[in-house]
Chain A
Amino acid sequence: SAVISQKPSRDICQRGTSLTIQCQVDSQVTMMFWYRQQPGQSLTLIATANQGSEATYESGFVIDKFPISRPNLTFSTLTVSNMSPEDSSIYLCSVVYSYEQYFGPGTRLTVT
C-alpha cells in the first residue's frame, strides 16, 4: 500500500490570495493525481502530475489557476491561485499503486 500525507489539512483564505498544498507519498510513484471535491459533489480530477514533465490538466482546469509541481517521484504541490469563494472545496492528492488508488487525507479550503 501507499501512505500519503497532505498539508495543510485545512485553511481559510481571503479571495485573491493563493494557497499551495503539499502531498508526500511514502513510495515512488510515476503519477500523482489532484482531485477537487466541491460541497455535495463527487471527486473531480484536476490534473495528473508527471515527474519530469508538465502536468496534464482535465477539461475546465488550467495551469494558470492550478499550477502543479512534481520535483521527484514522492512529492507534488498544487497551488490554487487568485482564489474566489467558488474554490472552496476539499482538495485531495492521490496515487495509483499496484492498481489500487490511495488518497491523501485531504485539504479543506474555505475562501472568504
Chain B
Amino acid sequence: EDKVVQSPLSLVVHEGDTVTLNCSYEVTNFRSLLWYKQEKKAPTFLFMLTSSGIEKKSGRLSSILDKKELFSILNITATQTGDSAIYLCAVDTNTGNQFYFGTGTSLTVIP
C-alpha cells in the first residue's frame, strides 16, 4: 500500500531557529514529491521535486529529495512567526490519479 509519512507531527520553535521537516514515502511508480504550506484552509504550493540531490530553494525555504532512500526534507532557516503552519508532503505517481498526502507537520514559531 502506498504511503507517505511525515515527522515530526508537531514542532514548536523560537523565532530565528532553523527547522528540518521530514517526509518518507513508499509508493510504486514515483513521479514527483511536493511540499505544501497550509495556514488556514487551502494548501499553497511550495516545491516540486523530481530528481535526487538537486536542492530547490525559495528564500529561507529549501528542499531536497533522496530517491534512493525514499525521503525528502524541507528546511526553514531563520524562522519567523509567519512560518507557523501545517506543512504537507505529497507524492505523485505515474499510476492512478491521486496525490498521496502525509499527515503533515504542524510548526509553531513563537516570538
- Chain A interface (Cβ < 8 Å from any Cβ of B): 31, 33, 41-45, 48, 56, 58, 90, 92, 96, 99-108
Contacts and interface: CB of A to CB of B under 8 A. Distances in A.
Contact of B97 (A42, A48, A102, A107): A48
Contacts, number: 48
B34 interface: yes
Given A42-B104, A101-B90, A48 B98 contact: yes
Given A48-B97, A99-B31, A101-B45, 12 more contacts: A31-B97, A43-B88, A90-B41, A92-B41, A92-B42, A92-B43, A99-B32, A100-B34, A101-B34, A103-B44, A104-B42, A106-B41
Interface in B36-52: 40-45, 48
**Residue from B31, B88, B98 whose CB has the most chain A CB atoms within 10 Å:** B98
B99 A42 contact: no
A108 B98 contact: no
A99 B101 contact: no
B104 A100 contact: no
Given A43-B88, A92-B41, A101 B99 contact: yes
A108 B42 CA distance: 10
A105 B42 CA distance: 5
B97 A41 contact: no
A103 B88 CA distance: 13
